[in-house]
Amino acid sequence: MTRSGRLRVVVCGPASWNHLIVLDSLPEARPHMRFAQDAWWTVGGTSAGKALHLHELGVDVTLVTPLGDDDDGRRVHTALRRTGLSVLPLGADVTESHTNLMTTQGERVSVYTSAPAAPSRADTATASALFDRADALVIDLSPLGRALLPAAVATGLPLWTDLHDWDGAADYQRPFAQAGTTVVINDDGHGDARAVMADAVAGRATSAIRTLGAAGAEVMTADGRVESVPAVACTVVDTNGAGDAFAAGALVAQCLGGSPREQLASGAAQAARALGSRHLSPLLDASREG
């Protein structure tokens, strides 16, 4: 259900300026030289990805993200605004940046080359002031997200959080796992994913979603029931942002009253949109062409 005719979502967390490098295989741990098959710079960040796909789905979405007063921050802000996405940039000492080493088989190593410090109290207050107008919140792993968790939980709104490859043991993700009403994980971790999902739905979460790449996705509900859907067949151009696109599609379906299986199907369809783009979202392709 929504408070108005249009779903309103606030997404809080990282946006970054990333260098994507495609290799024929990931590097071995030894000194050597490699030639890239392809390389490009583009907007990254898990929160930017979710916000872009929510925007494409017609959601009234605001992305709250730390951006430095630097060239990378200006590149990110300009690229996002060109898509029509509403962005609230918070001051930061530096703009987040990654170098992603990838293969055409979908393997990836992401190296953080810069990361913003924790937000100020004033910035945290600025971000949380937006919660009053939202129907749902997305609070992603980041210093900003961690600072906003208490205020987000206090709203009582649906709260989505993406734990990525969490193994269920690392301390950093735990407050996010305990706060989310829907938690999302992927299949890149080495822990017991089903145990992570079960712990989530035994607590505050009403559902836990696991994305499985080419194998589709599954959801565990509060009663322990597990349902799954296959991936949507598509031409894969780049895998970056597919998980964020999936979360956006599933979130919209949930807020509109869709069943757990319908949420997965909506997520899978939106993930295909990301897979067909060299960027987080086709909206970034279109904005570059305009």
Closest to 167 measured CA to CA, from 149, 144, 192, 139: 192
For the domain made up of 47-96+119-289, give the CATH fold.
UDP-N-acetylmuramoyl-L-alanine:D-glutamate ligase (3.40.1190)
d(CA 45, CA 280) in angstroms, rounded, equals: 9
Q: Which residues, 6 or more positions from 289, have their beta carbon under 8 angstroms from its beta carbon?
A: none
Cα distances from 114 to residues 51, 93, 124, 265, 269, in angstroms, run 22, 10, 21, 35, 32
Q: Where are the domains of the chain?
A: 47-96+119-289
Q: Which residues, 6 or more positions from 19, have their beta carbon under 8 angstroms from its beta carbon?
A: 39, 40, 41, 97, 98, 99, 100
> What is the pLDDT tens value at each position of the chain, 290 positions in all?
455 579 999 999 999 999 999 999 999 999 999 999 999 999 999 999 999 999 999 999 999 999 999 999 999 999 999 999 999 999 999 999 999 999 988 888 999 999 999 999 999 999 999 999 999 999 999 999 999 999 999 999 999 999 999 999 999 999 999 999 999 999 888 889 999 999 999 999 999 999 999 999 999 999 999 999 999 999 999 888 999 999 999 999 999 999 999 999 999 999 999 999 999 999 998 876 54
Residue that is written with structure tokens 């089903």 in the block:
194
Query: What does the CA dihedral 77, 22, 13, 170 come to, rounded to 10 degrees?
Result: -160
